[in-house]
Structure 1
């Protein structure tokens, strides 16, 4: 993950999924924000949701993500990359400060497509969420 390459882009995308999960359960968005470019609407929407949820005293239970497939590609050497992941999202529950269920998500799978750049380190420029098998081998 320390060098600009297709493998590094795939590793960064896997790391990003872990950071995303951590931010939702902990409320700590510092690393998610550091990895997110100014243009990443997916990233900033997630950060906003996490901040609002934790400010309201909501908690996340369960969840977690398992990366089943990861592949990176070089679009422009040492500058632009893509990564494609198949992710299994484990069931989770978001509860209000009083313990009421706010959101309950069942286990699901999806494909993630990342646009990534390297400028003295990795930045996630965009993330698209798609139906499983849209971008990855079934």
Structure 2
């Protein structure tokens, strides 16, 4: 989650992309959003993540896992090159469901995101 915030705020999704498996459509979409914002000259502020609950499940011993995170994504502001606000988001509670693989490093194979409710 720290890499998500880092990517959004710095405009550099390379570390996040390196953690993302080739079939993770949500991961690809986030990396694309960060790239597009940077190419437009926009920068973000905020996106602080607070994890409230983590529910891991080991599927294949030492290799395949799912993790359900209950978290709050902090408010954010996106500004253009002149500092004008182009978008804002309010603090949002979310549930994320990760499909993870361990093979010497972590790879996110799938990611589902929904509003907590």
TM-score (norm 2): 0.92
Match in the other structure for 2:54: 70
Name the CA distance, whole Å, in 2 between partners of 1:31 and 1:24.
11
* Structure 1: runs of 5 or more not aligned: 1-16, 134-138
Question: Matches of residues 24-43 of structure 1 in structure 2 within 5 Å?
Answer: 24-43=8-27
Question: What CA distance in whole angstroms lies between the structure 2 residues aligned with 1:65 and 1:120?
Answer: 26
Q: Measure, in 1, the Cα distance between the counterparts of 2:31 and 2:46.
A: 19
Instruction: State how many pairs are aligned.
Output: 117
8 Å contact from structure 2 (residues 96, 114) kept in 1: yes
- Which residue does 2:38 correspond to in 1? 54
> After TM superposition, where is structure 1 displaced by more than 6 Å over at least 4 residues in a row?
none
The corresponding residue for 1:20 is 4
Given candidates 89, 94, 116, the residue that maps to 2:73 is 89
CA distance change for structure 1 residues 107 and 75 in 2, over 3 Å: closer, same or farther?
Answer: same
**What are the Cα deviations for residues 36-56 of structure 1, in whole angstroms up to 9, with x where unaligned?**
011111111111110110111
Task: Answer whether contact 2:53 2:69 (CA < 8 A) is retained.
Answer: yes
TM superposition score normalised by structure 1: 0.79
- Higher strand proportion (structure 1 or 2): 2
Contact 2:92 2:115 in 1 (8 A): no
**Offset at residue 100 of structure 1 (A):** 2.6
2: distance between equivalents of 1:113 and 1:101? 31
RMSD: 1.2
